[in-house]
């Protein structure tokens, strides 16, 4: 494949920036832009060893003192000849170095093209390729652990165990049909039923992890609800650890929703601070209340904030009605650092103080209990809709095969559904290649990865 090059690190000031090159004639391209201190050409440097030298611009003059490393294929990330230049992290240096690589014969890499080449060269399957972007985008330790396990092939191993057994059934059936005079053991109905049941159980358990996978990748939509001036914005700031929302003693400061992400109890929450729920005093506030109710309608978790220093009001009860429509609810009695009023909703409420931080550890524990990690080990959790849809289709086909077998249909009718399941699992890992599918997956990547 033609040589490609890209900046693999962000386009901001940093200590180190990396230029990556891969493809045919990769080392010949690098010979033109790197001058080693040991006076040997880049193409003659020992593989997988850092070499000190100068990065040269298009005019042949040094741009930077760098470390360069050569990865001969197939023992490289892409499976072809690769190189990396570890520069000082100046965006100007990196841009000029990239321009020199283009002048030397490389072209700009597309989004995810390095990883796509790794897939096309058989170094990664599609689940591992998707794990690369999941690892880059991970916002919690649990998400990173799941991604790195999938990058190591854990999900692929699970899928290929099912895929290979189903493929063996199909191939054995066709061998019996195509070579009737050969002494090939026929498939017994009992054996087929057991195999299909085992595969169904494996895929059903895997599909059940998808909800957990969505939480790992996307976070939990969480609406912070309550009446004006109960401390919703103060709670948002406390969970974020910074002053994101304006906080005053004037009721109704928040007129629109504010969205931020925070890790609470090891769970990624997509926090939505909302306008106070009450009878609106003006048109702007009315729109804010409407958006608060809309946020509640789309949330998976509601944090209902009450002012523990005063008695409950009718507005608090209206806020509770909105919060109870959300699948999961935590009631928080804020301002626990002040003298507390009596009364409540007759439901458990966590005492907290957004101002002092009192009760926040208990809130984290409560959130963690609502969204437990589950029994699936890291790496065996489906994290995106494409994976879940492929497993779902395979599962439906297996159940169709079991029904056909139970109905007494001939094995060829059963094998039609088995082949459908095999094809769906092949799409999951990339064995069944679809160009449009592969293209969509790698469009999610940044340039340089």
User: What confidence tens digit (pLDDT) does each residue in 415-431 have?
Assistant: 888 889 999 998 888 88
pLDDT of residue 99: 96
pLDDT digits (tens, 9 = 90+) for 249-272: 444 444 456 788 888 888 899 888
Long-range contacts of the stretch 31-37 (C-beta < 8 A, 24+): 32/56, 32/100, 32/103, 32/104, 32/105, 33/85, 33/97, 33/100, 33/101, 33/104, 34/66, 34/68, 34/85, 35/62, 36/68
What would the pLDDT profile of 218-256 be if each residue is shown by its tens digit?
889 998 888 888 888 888 888 888 665 444 444 444 445
pLDDT value for 171: 75
Residue 107: pLDDT over 70: yes
Tell me: pLDDT of 180 over 60.
Answer: no
Residue that is written with structure tokens 């593989």 in the block: 47
Look at residue 50 in the predicted model and tell me its pLDDT.
Answer: 96
Q: Which range has the worst mean pLDDT, 78-87, 90-99, 183-192, 357-366?
A: 183-192
Q: How confident is the model at residue 80 (pLDDT cuts 50, 70, 90)?
A: very high
Would you state the pLDDT for residue 243? 64
Between residues 410 and 135, which one has the greater pLDDT? 135
Residue pLDDT, tens place only, 289-310: 566 666 677 788 999 999 988 8
pLDDT of residue 247: 45
Q: Edge-to-edge strand order for the sheet containing 258-264?
A: 258-264, 267-273, 220-225, 301-307, 328-334, 350-351
Minimum mean pLDDT among 6-15, 67-76, 104-113: which range?
6-15
Residue 278 pLDDT exceeds 60: no
The mean pLDDT value for 161-178 works out to 75
Q: How confident is the model at residue 83 (pLDDT cuts 50, 70, 90)?
A: very high
Confidence of residue 216 (pLDDT cuts 50, 70, 90): confident
Residue of higher predicted confidence among 344 and 261: 261
In sequence order, what are the residues at sequence separation of 6 or more whose Cβ sits closer than 8 angstroms to the Cβ of residue 392?
207
Average pLDDT over residues 147-173: 85
**pLDDT surpassing 60 at residue 277:** no
């Amino acid at each position: 494949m033609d040589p490609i090059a890209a900046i693999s690190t962000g386009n901001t000031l940093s200590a180190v920036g990396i230029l990556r090159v891969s493809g045919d004639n990769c080392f010949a391209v690098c010979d033109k832009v790197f001058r080693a201190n040991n006076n040997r050409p880049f193409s003659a440097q020992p593989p997988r060893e850092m070499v000190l030298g100068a990065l040269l611009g298009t005019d042949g003059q040094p741009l930077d003192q760098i470390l360069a490393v050569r990865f001969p294929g197939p023992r490289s990330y892409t499976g072809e000849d690769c190189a990396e230049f570890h520069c000082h992290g100046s965006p100007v240096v990196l841009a000029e170095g990239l321009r020199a690589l283009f002048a030397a014969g490389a072209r700009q890499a597309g989004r995810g093209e390095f990883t796509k080449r790794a897939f096309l060269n058989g170094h990664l399957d599609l689940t591992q390729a998707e794990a690369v972007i999941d690892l880059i985008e991970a916002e919690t330790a649990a998400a990173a652990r799941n991604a790195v396990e999938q990058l190591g092939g854990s999900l692929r191993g699970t899928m290929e165990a099912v895929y290979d057994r189903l493929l063996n059934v199909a191939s054995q059936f066709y061998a019996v049909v195509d070579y009737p005079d050969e002494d090939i053991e026929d498939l017994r109905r009992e054996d087929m039923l057991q195999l299909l049941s085992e595969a169904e159980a494996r895929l059903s358990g895997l599909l059940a992890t998808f909800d957990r996978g969505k939480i790992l990748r996307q976070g939990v939509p969480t609406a912070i609800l309550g009446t004006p001036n109960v401390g919703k914005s103060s709670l948002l700031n406390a969970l974020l650890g910074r002053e994101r929302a304006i906080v005053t003693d004037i009721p109704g400061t928040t007129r629109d929703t504010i969205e931020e992400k925070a890790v609470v109890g090891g769970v990624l929450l997509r926090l939505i601070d909302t306008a106070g729920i009450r009878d609106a005093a003006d048109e702007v506030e009315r729109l804010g209340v409407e958006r608060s109710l809309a946020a509640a309608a789309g949330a998976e978790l509601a944090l209902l904030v009450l002012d523990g220093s005063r008695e409950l009001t009718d507005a608090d009860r209206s806020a509770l009605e909105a919060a109870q429509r959300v699948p999961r609810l935590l009631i928080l009695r804020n301002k626990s650092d002040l003298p507390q009023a009596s009364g409540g909703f007759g439901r458990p409420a966590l005492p907290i103080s957004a101002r002092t931080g009192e009760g926040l550890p208990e809130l984290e524990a409560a959130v963690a209990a609502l969204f437990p990690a589950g029994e699936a080990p890291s790496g065996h959790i489906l994290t995106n809709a494409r994976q879940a849809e492929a497993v779902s289709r395979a599962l439906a086909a297996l159940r169709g095969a079991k029904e056909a077998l139970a109905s007494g249909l001939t094995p060829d009718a059963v094998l039609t559904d088995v082949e459908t399941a095999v094809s769906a699992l092949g799409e999951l890992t990339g064995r069944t290649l679809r160009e449009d599918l592969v293209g969509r997956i790698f469009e999610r990547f940044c340039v340089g990865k």
